[in-house]
Each structure stands twice: as structure tokens, then as C-alpha cells.
Chain A
């Protein structure tokens, strides 16, 4: 009795909400419905996709895209496999682990040309290179241990040579760790480090033996085969969205803010500018175009992960990457 009532209440709330949405969004009867699952919350790192949605670049291509927010407990590989979304953004390690399990997903583009993960230390501790990590306390999220292992391995060390602590920037400022992992794109969060009177040092994974990309676009392998047309259109719209976000960062952040009330616009704007100039557009996109993926880079990354025993050694770029979408799409070179 009450359960039916509560269900009815839920149903009416949902239908009211969808009515409200229908009132705002123009109805595209002929549009193909696509769901994009983000790896993280709505913020500057998804500005290109959000701009493509808000400026109607997806709609121009005949796609009715819904962007779903992620979060720390979100597993976009699983969500893509289960059909929660057709397309998702994902990070390199989880894609490699999925391939290691033989799961049928592949990358078909990479919004971020370089993975931003960087290790910060304060000037006082005088950590000039990864070699100086020996005996130090390294802080990062639990998921970053494999990346740390690779970076250490590249410098002839093992995980036992350092003390791994789960920590964030406040841990570094409080002296709980000597080195902490952060993304340089989180400009505002890194301010206390950057403004440290004695300066600061950084070691990025990119410069220390681990050159994978980030915010990969992933889809099920069978979808890449059966509906490459949709994925090509999707990629072209994202390309246009990122180009627009790069040219109009303030407007892009306004669009991001319209989808997530809690972001702080000034922080996200600073972040977006770094994302665009250092990560979305690099020498490789100037030469090959937006969202480029290098097969050699995937092979090298898989080898480093196999070397530290995280994945099977027989995996190759073909297990994680399908180049057909990138090849078919008209991509901006900038």
C-alpha cells in the first residue's frame, strides 16, 4: 500500500522532472540518443564536451547527447560495458586493467594528450628528481600506486624504497608527506604549494617514464565496429566543443557552471586555461589533429605496466585502441 504510494510519488517526481527537462531542451525527434558517462564531476576538464552539448554541436551532427556526471566511486569502464552509457571518459590504468581481463572496451580518442599526474614537493625538502625520492614519504591516492611503481622502476627503484601514504595536498603542507601527487590543471588547489616562499619542485609521470594520455574516450568494441558513424560524429562535435572552449574560456565555464552549481568559476577558469594550453592542444594535435592517440605510446605504456607485473606481457595497442574513428573523423589541427 505505502510502497505503491512511494513508488507513485517517485514516479511522479521523475515524470515531473522529465517534463521540466522536456520544456527546456528542444525536441529532436530524429536525433540519435547517446549517453556520455564522465569519469569525474562536471568541471573544466569536461568543458569541451559540455560546450558541444550547450552550443548544439552534438545536435548539429544528429546526436542527442546526455552527459552523466561521474565521481570517485564511478567505474566508467563497467558503466560502458553494462550499457549505462555508450561512450565514457576513462583513465589509462583502468583501461589497461580492463584489457588485461579481456573486457570488450577500447579507446577511440584521447581528449588529454598527456596524463597530468605530477608529484609536488616543497623547496625545503630539495627533491630535484625521482632519484631523491629514496627513503621519502610519497603521498597519493590509493589508485596511483601502479603509476608510482612505474616511475620508481624507471629510476631503478622499488616501492619498498619509499613510504607510500594515502594523502593529498594538505598532507604535504602539514608535513605528513614529503611528496604529493596532484594534477597541475588543479590550479587553485595547488596555490599553497606554488606560493611556498622557498619554492617547490615537480616530477611529472610524463617526464619520468610513463607517457600515457588521459580522459580517453572509450566505447564497447562491438559498438566501435557497428556504429562507427555515430562515434565519428561524436568526436567531431567534441573537437568543435574544445576549440570553442579554448577560444571562449569564460563562456565555456559559464556553461559548465550551469550544469553544476557548486563549482567555483574563477578556479575552474584558471584550470581550463591550463588544460587547453598544455593538455588538449600539444605538438601532436598540431600535427595529427584533436584527440590523437599514438599507437607506439600505447605499446610503450603497456610494456611498462607489464614490466612491473600489473598486466599480462602479451597485450598490445590493438587490445586497447581502435584507430578507425580517429582516421575517419575530420579533426582540427591546432
Chain B
């Protein structure tokens, strides 16, 4: 079918270095590092000049000290949190994609279950977390489900929109070529949805870390959430900040991985192809 080629000609073979950051990205990175350093210097100055006690706001040097001192502890705590967040990310997004596909192909299902999806979204996670623990026990499962719940909605909404955002002329063409529903899905809809899905994944990859942490607050003796709680309870602000930083690093790393995947998968110009 000629229509395939019109999409695929824009896509050269995947080259691994094509997903690595280019010079413009390096510049952006450099500027960000510069901005961050200036903020840190300012923060240190304010804390030192005004004599802010370290139990309230620790100076960057205190946080750095806690980081180096507690690094093994932070790494150890990161492992379960990353595991929960990643599994929750997989679960939440897989379910969201399957539901999105069923919505696109069956109007009745959409009419019936879209309100349910909105309901799921509006449930306050902190309120549902203890209930999930009662249902699923004290292990890794409630944490994964909480992370999945947080991921579910953005991906659902975006992918439904993406699967629908197909150029009608393309659909007509496929119809003329007597393409089956499966062919339309695999050749047209997926390509139209991918940019939308990746936007959603970028949101949910940072949110799922938050979900895992909330999950750990209902009862855990390991993980970033546990470390946050214990540090708060001990008024150990430097370690609290170091733990917050670790959570951010996990989320940012997830974001970077999804961004690189996006670059690798979407090798056409989404605007032009649609």
C-alpha cells in the first residue's frame, strides 16, 4: 500500500546516537546548570546571612553533607521506590492504552466508562491509599497500584484524543483501499496517537514516583517515602532535603528516558504526517 511509504519515507533506520542530545540541548543543559548554581549560591547566602536554623531550612552545604554521608542509605531507599514506580507506570499506562483503544472502537463502552475513568481520577490518592493497603496487604502491591492510578488518567485522555486525531482524508483513502479496522489502527491511528501518548507518558513518568512515595507513607520500612517520614519525624532537615532531591533525580531520570524513547520512536514530523 502506497500510503505506508508516505509515512515511512520520513523515517530513516533508527540510529542510536540520534536519540542522544545535540549541541542545542547541551547549551540548554549548560544554562540550566548555571541557573541552578546561582540559585544554590543565593540560598546558601540567605541561610548564612540570616542565620536560618538548619532544622528549618538547611543550607545547600548541609544538604550536600547529608547527601554524601547518607548516599548508601539513599541508594538503598531508591531501589524499592523505583521498582514500585516503574511497575505502576507499566500497569497504569497499559491499562490506560487498552481502555483508550476500546473507547475509540466502541462508543457504548466510552459512554459507559468515561465517567468511571473521571471518577478514578478525582479520587484523592492520599484517601484511597490506606484502603488499598487493607485490600492488597502490606507488600509492594498497593504501592504499584497507587502509582498506576496516578498514571492512568493522563495517558487515557491523551491517547483517546490521539487515536481520534486522524486526518479524515487518510481514513477515506484507507476506506477506498478497503483496509480492515486492524490495518487502519496499525497503519494510521497508532502513528497519529504516538505523539499524544508520549506527552502523557512524560507526565505520568514523574507522577508515578509520587504515587510510589504516597504508597510508602501508609506503611513501609524501606523506600524514599519511608526515608522522608523518618527524616521528618527526626527533624533531620538536611537528610529530608537530600531525600527530596533523590526523589527528583529519579523522576527527572524517568523523564529523560521517556524523552529519549520518544525521539527514537517518533522519527517523522508529527505535524506533517498528520
Using a CB–CB cutoff of 8 Å, the interface residues on chain A facing chain B are: 2-3, 5-7, 9-10, 13-14, 37, 41-42, 68-75, 78-79, 82, 84, 168-170, 173-174, 188-189, 192, 259-264, 267
Interface positions of B from 11 to 62, Cβ below 8 Å from A: 53, 55-56
Asked if B130 and A41 make an inter-chain contact with CB atoms under 8 angstroms apart, the answer reads no
Who on chain B is nearest to A70 by CB? B219
> Given the interface contacts A71-B218, A262-B73, A264-B236, does A173 sit within 8 Å of B231 by beta carbon?
no
- B274, CB-defined interface residue at 8 Å: no
- Interface-facing stretch out of B133-141, B167-175, B264-272: B133-141
Q: Please report the C-alpha to C-alpha distance between residue A13 and residue B233 in the assembled complex, in whole angstroms.
A: 30
User: Could you tell me which residues of chain B, from 75 to 128, have a CB within 8 Å of some CB in chain A?
Assistant: 76-77, 83, 87, 90-91, 94-95, 98, 126
Known contacts A69-B221, A71-B218, A72-B217, A3 near B130 by CB under 8 Å: no
Chain B residues contacting A9 (CB-CB under 8 Å) are 87, 90
- Judge whether B253 is part of the interface by a CB distance below 8 angstroms: no
Query: Which A residue's beta carbon lies closest to that of B214?
Result: A73
Bitwise interface map of B from 213 to 227 toward A, beta carbon under 8 Å scored 1, else 0:
000011111100011
How far does the Cβ of B73 sit from chain A's closest Cβ, in whole Å? 6
Kindly state whether residue B183 has any CB partner on chain A within 8 Å.
no
Q: Are B56 and A73 in contact (CB under 8 A)?
A: no
Q: Which of A41, A73, A82 has the most CB of B within 10 A?
A: A73
The reply on B234 being an interface residue by CB < 8 A is yes
In the complex, how many angstroms separate the beta carbon of A46 from the nearest chain B beta carbon? 11
Query: Which of chain B's residues has its CB closest to A264's CB?
Result: B234
Q: CB-CB < 8 A to A259: which residues of B?
A: 221
Contacts A68-B138, A79-B134 given; does A2 touch B221 at CB 8 Å: no
25 interchain pairs, CB-CB under 8 A: A6-B87, A6-B91, A10-B140, A13-B87, A41-B226, A42-B221, A68-B138, A68-B219, A69-B220, A69-B221, A71-B220, A71-B226, A72-B217, A72-B229, A73-B129, A74-B218, A78-B134, A84-B138, A168-B235, A170-B56, A189-B234, A260-B221, A260-B230, A261-B76, A261-B77
Docked CA distance A10–B140 (Å):
9
Query: A-B contact count, CB below 8 Å?
Result: 99
Name A13's closest neighbour in chain B (CB-CB): B83
A262 to B241, CA, bound (A): 14
Chain A neighbourhood of B63, CB < 8 A: none
Question: Considering the complex of A and B, which 10 residue pairs feature the smallest CB-CB distances, nearest first?
Answer: A6-B90, A262-B230, A3-B94, A82-B134, A69-B221, A73-B218, A68-B138, A2-B94, A260-B221, A262-B227
A13–B143 Cα distance when bound, in Å, is 14
- The answer for the CA separation of A6 and B98 in the assembled complex, in Å, is 15
In the complex, residue of chain B having the shortest beta-carbon distance to the beta carbon of A192: B55
Q: Which residue of A lies closest to B83 (CB)?
A: A13
Q: Mark B135-154, 1 if CB is under 8 A from A, else 0.
A: 00111110010000000000
* B235 close to A189 (CB less than 8 A): yes
A267 to B230, CA, bound (A): 12
B92 to chain A, nearest CB (A): 10
Instruction: Tell which of A42, A84, A262 touches B134, judged by Cβ atoms closer than 8 Å.
Output: A84
Give the complex CA separation of A322 and B129 in angstroms.
31
Q: Shortest Cβ distance from A98 into chain B, in angstroms? A: 14
Contact of A74 among B55, B56, B219 (CB under 8 A): B219
